[in-house]
Structure 1
């Protein structure tokens, strides 16, 4: 195995082809990262990547200098991008997307580190599997490597020279890279061997980086040390991409206090580094939220951060374990402490008011500390255990992560979050402890107590339970439009339920959004994005902000989207990325246009309506087009998408309203995709052009009439009359035809069928039972009425009555 420092940051961009389980535009990017302050070439691997136009970045610091299509490789189509990474580019993960002629791709990631990159070139599997064949690398580099699949586990060993008393730190990025969308086995472990071959340290998982290992040791002697990267469990078919940082950098486990007031300097104690704890002062930003803190002096800082919290209110520090409760002068406040004695409880005394809602958010494991926190609150004069509220773990929604598959996991979910509504005004005790009774110097916690606020996030509605990335594509064809359903997700503690509107901020030039008004009770509605005929081919990250119609109300708002990387076993993601913006791109014009005919009549409750859709194919395209209704109001059902075959230009789509369908006017559109889905229900969107029709107005109304089916009986071989009493909810536009549905086997209607005229109070049907009709009581017989209005037929089912089928009188009754 040979290594070479990457000249000008440019690395070889060839990787063995992993097995793909789902179609994606971009399967992965290689290499997986680079050094800041350098220029690097990367290759996007995937499918349908013709006409590459832009790389969309979510964070600042990286610029794309050019894109070039490469000849297809054994792992699909390829696009080469030249990226310039700024000298002050934020370290860590940078989500990005590739805009090509047909689509804006799925989100993938590129990682930025502080060290020069050493690229792995393994001549054959096993060349560096044991310490005796470890390849030399300099200190303070990032090794870009791979663990290859095979009939035995692959291990990579690297040799470094370290002076006695110097720190040797190792940190691996593997699971965090999220290289493959599906099936990538990215779990790694690392160990360090001393000059005599003795194991000095080993790490598999850690509270700080979860499944990515890190460790630090102080070299006991001058000499050569070996760093070994491997998988903790051998998977024959696995393929692991990793970035291994090896150097003399600090690698603390925790920081106390775990946050401070925005805009002010914060004196902290850096805990858990092999060289010992240290004190440092950090200037916090003004904006509240998470803050990435890189401990140590310049040149000694780690490749990834310890996370701190920034809040707009002061810190309160706990006393020694076992001390009296610390008095909190006023709320809101941030309570900070360390559980350093097994079984200890951090206690704070605070004053609260009945009738107010307080958000109590604990930060511990989510910051990478080993504590598994539990929080409780009770009146200060209540006995031990008489807690008004007690919480251990939490959900994604508690952390304001609304688009989160139930199988996705995150270390934050071990930190409790509660909305506390005290039963009385007065002094309360707040307690924080480790659920297991464990303790340590790095069991650092922070509790932010603040008034609960109102707020709504916008998210793209989930098409299914798996959150399959291509289903969330948001690209609009030039000169066309696309419809996406947008859901309002309340933040923890939200109590607002008024009428709201949406405002799109940051759309590409030439793109506009047609947004509905969300009335109280509405959570998901369709939003349409329209691109001008001359809109530039461009992509942007944008927000859909929620604005109350009552402008006097204040709402926290913003957009949120989460994507799964290294997704395993249908939704069990090893790596998820949370994004605070949505992404949209303008693509090539679609080879067809869609028109949805304005319904001439209302859709009545308990009725159905046929929608007429027309396809206008552009010259040169005569393929099939799959069409479906984008969204329907509450209580309305839509049929599965239908395929318009070549040569056909019109199709009808049926929608049905239940008895409780939402009455009113609603925007309705359809979306079509070129080709035909292999899976059905629009689950194969990759490689297909998409476009939507303009909105039409759909009115859902009360039914024309309500029928009550009288209890009736018919004898085998005989005829009988079934009478329905009619109540008119609104005037009939003319005569209506009527029939009965769900008749038992062997019972038929006798024609001619009756006609209902405006003002009729009853309608009667004649039924006939055959000699072998099934005897018994049938309780679900319904009346179906067909009304013609403005030339369009509307069918409505109403009523549910009982029809009894009796044996013939000349035939013995069946034995029971």
Structure 2
């Protein structure tokens, strides 16, 4: 009577709707589509409810109550009213149930609907922005919309078909109405998930969600005039339920925040990026700020939190324009109590009063381990935080009084305060920093120690900037890996500023040479960049086998112009050119020695004189 395996509405979960030809018994058979030697649990809904497969139009204007036509039910088409929620004033997807056991997805947006004129070759669009709605009712059907645009206008053109459970893999084409049909100016088929405002997913196959086969693009009119927008399905799967919707809207100014797993996998948990804040302590995570099909805020901004529980504060430095990640620090003071809360973030432009749309997102998959992708995910538009029992330790880091220079190293002291006699080992690691800054692997501080040093390094081309720096501490366990997240208590230090500056000196040298069994000198020119007090010791690294430095090593001051090394070569010195010589300068700054590497030299080893 009816059969189904996969479908566009529920993907791998079957849907059957039939009209029984006569009274009597009907057998419902459930079986695997492929053999697997294991038990599988399932649930089947059987009833006399409607089971539509699509709705037309598949959306409406926010605050309205349009009549929609339900398609695909075995008893035929029927109509119902759908309330387009006015709780949000931005475009979004929502669920419409009716009396069906599972919902259809519909769209809500601030713009009016326009339905295709199926009897005409072209449907005329009288205004933008707009939401276009149609059905690709056959394998050869092509719907065409004619609209006017002004040169330089930028519009986001986004099609919804597979996203809403439609069976088609739609393509959009845009071309000037005055040109021949072959002069296509824009053709878009699939689009990455980020173009659909979906971030932080880690599908192994690169897709995983239906949105990936719907097109979305930012289009700019090349000249004033009329344009044609065509919708078609090259796969030829059009039919009576092949609905689609094209929303054409101006670009919005958006700040997107994203909480994503910081480990190598993407599973049913937040791993080490959960928002668990110990009472009387701090916890810091990095929130991602991805770019999508919108206009960036274009200035520095502050992030504030709405909905945090009593006694919990968000403490974060001002976010610079263009930042891709930024730390959020939550502090639970003594007035807080163990509790959970749902909160959102809002971006406030620095020194401006303009409105900016702020979005929050976290994607949580189900069954996303080896062997398959997560076809089902929960996508949230807010975050959840919990205040937990007090941690047995806290961390303190002072603001660095000196800068980390390009090509240099800087030691950051970390102090541990143990509480209530806690004597366990503590794993210490540095918070997220850009790739131009090197950080050490996690260090284990033994129970009898209460401090350690984090040695940071900067590449010679590291950007000159001020970065937020924090340190994370965690209890240790032998039975649970740290990256799994569970079973460990984590805290962070406060956020301090780390400045990346120009190096103190720059050293260069001409290629040198030495004969076996002889001594000679290598002179490096010193260019002073940043003044310093005292004497700096210079070491020469990278000498080949058989060539050594003759002590003492040279000392330089802020007034030095050269640094001279005395070297000797044994009879075993390797003959030929040796490159990769570099100077390591130890500069006394404050209470520590800054280590900086500079220069690139070479030396030729010649045979002994006859």
Calculate the TM-score normalised by the size of structure 1: 0.71
Instruction: Provide the C-alpha distance between the structure 2 equivalents of 1:809 and 1:235, rounded to a whole number of angstroms.
Output: 80
Alpha carbons of structure 1 residues 376 and 465: separation in structure 2 relative to 1, 3 Å: farther
- Counterpart of 2:104 in structure 1 is 306
- Counterpart of 1:402 in structure 2 is 199
Q: What stretches of structure 1 of length at least 5 have no aligned partner?
A: 1-199, 296-300, 811-816
- Counterpart of 2:173 in structure 1 is 376
Does the 8 A contact of 1:405 with 1:571 survive in 2?
Answer: no
Equivalent position SS for 1:243:
coil
Shift of 1:382: 1.4
Instruction: Provide the C-alpha distance between the structure 1 equivalents of 2:169 and 2:316, rounded to a whole number of angstroms.
Output: 43
- Counterpart of 1:447 in structure 2 is 246
- Counterpart of 1:729 in structure 2 is 529
- Counterpart of 1:145 in structure 2 is none
Please list, as runs of the form range in 1=range in 2, the aligned pairs for 1:202-351 lying within 5 A after superposition. Answer: 202-237=3-38, 240-286=40-86, 287=88, 288-295=91-98, 301-320=99-118, 323-351=120-148
Calculate the TM-score normalised by the size of structure 2: 0.94
Shift of 1:284: 2.0
Instruction: Provide the C-alpha distance between the structure 1 equivalents of 2:317 and 2:114, rounded to a whole number of angstroms.
Output: 45
Does the 8 A contact of 1:292 with 1:308 survive in 2?
Answer: yes
Shift of 1:247: 1.2
Please list, as runs of the form range in 1=range in 2, the aligned pairs for 1:111-122 lying within 5 A after superposition. Answer: none
Please list, as runs of the form range in 1=range in 2, the aligned pairs for 1:374-523 lying within 5 A after superposition. Answer: 374-407=171-204, 409-460=208-259, 462-468=261-267, 469=269, 470-523=271-324
- Counterpart of 1:79 in structure 2 is none
Does the 8 A contact of 2:347 with 2:358 survive in 1?
Answer: yes
Is 1:355 the counterpart of 2:152? The answer is yes
Shift of 1:213: 1.4
Instruction: Provide the C-alpha distance between the structure 2 equivalents of 1:314 and 1:684, rounded to a whole number of angstroms.
Output: 48
Shift of 1:633: 4.8
Does the 8 A contact of 1:601 with 1:792 survive in 2?
Answer: no
Q: Identify the structure with the greater strand proportion.
A: 1
Equivalent position SS for 1:498:
coil
Alpha carbons of structure 1 residues 686 and 358: separation in structure 2 relative to 1, 3 Å: same
Once the two structures are superposed, what CA deviation does each residue of 1:423-482 show, in whole Å capped at 9, x if it has no partner? 111100000000213321111111111111121111135524423431321111000001
Alpha carbons of structure 1 residues 718 and 240: separation in structure 2 relative to 1, 3 Å: farther
Does the 8 A contact of 1:455 with 1:496 survive in 2?
Answer: yes
Instruction: Provide the C-alpha distance between the structure 1 equivalents of 2:567 and 2:308, rounded to a whole number of angstroms.
Output: 62
Does the 8 A contact of 1:267 with 1:282 survive in 2?
Answer: yes
Alpha carbons of structure 1 residues 389 and 683: separation in structure 2 relative to 1, 3 Å: same
Instruction: Provide the C-alpha distance between the structure 1 equivalents of 2:373 and 2:599, rounded to a whole number of angstroms.
Output: 46
Instruction: Provide the C-alpha distance between the structure 2 equivalents of 1:611 and 1:590, rounded to a whole number of angstroms.
Output: 23
1:690 to 487, 490, 493: 490
Alpha carbons of structure 1 residues 234 and 770: separation in structure 2 relative to 1, 3 Å: farther
Shift of 1:570: 8.3
Once the two structures are superposed, what CA deviation does each residue of 1:128-179 show, in whole Å capped at 9, x if it has no partner? xxxxxxxxxxxxxxxxxxxxxxxxxxxxxxxxxxxxxxxxxxxxxxxxxxxx
Shift of 1:495: 4.2
Is 1:534 the counterpart of 2:331? The answer is no
Alpha carbons of structure 1 residues 512 and 272: separation in structure 2 relative to 1, 3 Å: same
Shift of 1:571: 8.3
Instruction: Provide the C-alpha distance between the structure 1 equivalents of 2:151 and 2:456, rounded to a whole number of angstroms.
Output: 49
Instruction: Provide the C-alpha distance between the structure 1 equivalents of 2:480 and 2:487, rounded to a whole number of angstroms.
Output: 14
Instruction: Provide the C-alpha distance between the structure 2 equivalents of 1:747 and 1:578, rounded to a whole number of angstroms.
Output: 63
Once the two structures are superposed, what CA deviation does each residue of 1:685-707 show, in whole Å capped at 9, x if it has no partner? 21011111122332222111111
Shift of 1:294: 1.8
Equivalent position SS for 2:163:
helix
Does the 8 A contact of 1:482 with 1:692 survive in 2?
Answer: yes
Once the two structures are superposed, what CA deviation does each residue of 1:465-520 show, in whole Å capped at 9, x if it has no partner? 42343132111100000111122122313244321211111112211011121223
Once the two structures are superposed, what CA deviation does each residue of 1:153-210 show, in whole Å capped at 9, x if it has no partner? xxxxxxxxxxxxxxxxxxxxxxxxxxxxxxxxxxxxxxxxxxxxxxx22222110011
Equivalent position SS for 2:272:
helix
Instruction: Provide the C-alpha distance between the structure 1 equivalents of 2:407 and 2:113, rounded to a whole number of angstroms.
Output: 59
Cα-Cα RMSD: 2.0
- Counterpart of 2:499 in structure 1 is 699
- Counterpart of 2:509 in structure 1 is 709
Alpha carbons of structure 1 residues 483 and 417: separation in structure 2 relative to 1, 3 Å: same
Please list, as runs of the form range in 1=range in 2, the aligned pairs for 1:490-639 lying within 5 A after superposition. Answer: 490-569=291-370, 572-633=373-434, 635-639=436-440
Instruction: Provide the C-alpha distance between the structure 2 equivalents of 1:533 and 1:740, rounded to a whole number of angstroms.
Output: 54
Once the two structures are superposed, what CA deviation does each residue of 1:325-365 show, in whole Å capped at 9, x if it has no partner? 11100101111111112211100001111112100010111
- Counterpart of 2:548 in structure 1 is 748
Instruction: Provide the C-alpha distance between the structure 2 equivalents of 1:526 and 1:783, rounded to a whole number of angstroms.
Output: 35
Instruction: Provide the C-alpha distance between the structure 1 equivalents of 2:298 and 2:58, rounded to a whole number of angstroms.
Output: 35
Shift of 1:225: 2.7
Shift of 1:792: 1.0
Is 1:653 the counterpart of 2:454? The answer is yes
Does the 8 A contact of 2:52 with 2:71 survive in 1?
Answer: yes
Does the 8 A contact of 2:173 with 2:187 survive in 1?
Answer: yes
Instruction: Provide the C-alpha distance between the structure 2 equivalents of 1:357 and 1:303, rounded to a whole number of angstroms.
Output: 41
User: Structure 1 residues 265-274 or 286-295, which shifts more?
Assistant: 286-295
Q: What stretches of structure 2 of length at least 5 have no aligned partner?
A: none
